[in-house]
Amino acid sequence: MEVVYIDVLAAINFAVDFLLLLATARLAGAYARRARLLAGAAAGAAYAVLTAFPIPGGLLWLPVRLAVGLGMVRLAFGPQGRTALGKRFLLFLLVSFGFAGCTVALYLMTGTRLGHGGVYYFDVPFRVVAAACAISYVLSGLLFRGAAKHGAAHQTAEQVEIGLEGRRERFSLLYDTGNDLSDPLTGRPVVVLERRAAARLLPQELLFVCTGLADGDCAGLLPRIPEPWRGRFRLLPYRSLGNAGGMLLMLRPDTVQRQGGARYDAYVAITPDRIANGRYEGLIGV
């Protein structure tokens, strides 16, 4: 009789599912909170544990497994449009298939049993799991990095809608692979808006922020922001090519919605610099 240790089963599947969701996020160029990735991995681990018990056979059918995978992606990336959810789910499946194939290949080379009941188990040595994760991630990145990040048309820009106190404005943002700006307190990504574009979003009493940024004194602007708005603003340190360090004025908007309807939990930083000689209104990471 085969003995299955539930804690080991849960731990290994939790780790593998977390890596698969993380790889999906990286390849899709999508932001996902670590807590959400952990929640998605926990759901996958819970399903793996469930398969170790005598359960109705229907729970092991392919449609059920696909539904569990879809639920994991939904937990990992949060509220999003159907199109965005579908694309990320398909990418998750591709990454998972790649990982499974690499694991099977390494299993055949080592002679170690793959797992239990269609899920990963401790009989797979950790070095095999780690190697499979690394190889699957690299291969997926080589095969899908262009389509995952920019779509089939290899777009260079994205239309993003930002909402603030009842206003909703759409901006043309340039994809910037070097834009890894994030809020140091929350880890949320940061969208960069050129000050003239930001002026369309800000109410009348805050327009002085956009004109004042031309002087480069972000810190001096904070005390001048009216009290009801002051809690939404703070300074963001950054580095860029040719600039050892600087500060951007950062705003917490009500909503940021990416192309396709996906919600993007991000902050907005305002820069006095023109983007690509004025061809775009801001920058967004991929």
d(CA 286, CA 282): 13
d(CA 32, CA 76): 6
Give the pairing of strands 282-285 and 167-176. Answer: parallel
d(CA 161, CA 256): 6
With a cut of 70, say whether residue 131 has pLDDT above it: no
d(CA 91, CA 89): 5
Residue 267 has a pLDDT of 94
pTM for the model stands at 0.51
Residue 122 has a pLDDT of 47
- Confidence category of residue 168, pLDDT binned at 50, 70, 90: very high
d(CA 197, CA 209): 12
φ, ψ (nearest 5 deg) of residue 182: -150, 155
End-to-end C-alpha distance for the chain, whole angstroms:
50
Taking alpha carbons only, the member of 261, 228, 44, 276 closest to residue 160 is 261
- Confidence category of residue 11, pLDDT binned at 50, 70, 90: confident
With a cut of 90, say whether residue 19 has pLDDT above it: no
Cβ(116)–Cβ(2) below 8 Å: yes
Residue 82 has a pLDDT of 78
Cβ(192)–Cβ(181) below 8 Å: yes
d(CA 66, CA 281): 40
Cβ(129)–Cβ(103) below 8 Å: yes
**Locus of tokens 């298939």:** 97
Higher pLDDT: 11 or 168? It is 168
Count of CB atoms within 10 A of residue 207's CB? 13
Taking alpha carbons only, the member of 168, 190, 201 closest to residue 250 is 190
Residue 244 has a pLDDT of 55
CA 120 to chain CA centroid, nearest Å? 25
pLDDT in tens, 150-163: 443 345 788 999 99
d(CA 286, CA 283): 10
φ, ψ (nearest 5 deg) of residue 163: -115, 140
With a cut of 80, say whether residue 110 has pLDDT above it: no
**What secondary structure does DSSP assign to 113-152, as a single string?**
--EETTEE-TTS-HHHHHHHHHHHHHHHHHHHHHHHHHTT
CB-side neighbour CA atoms (13 Å) of 212: 16
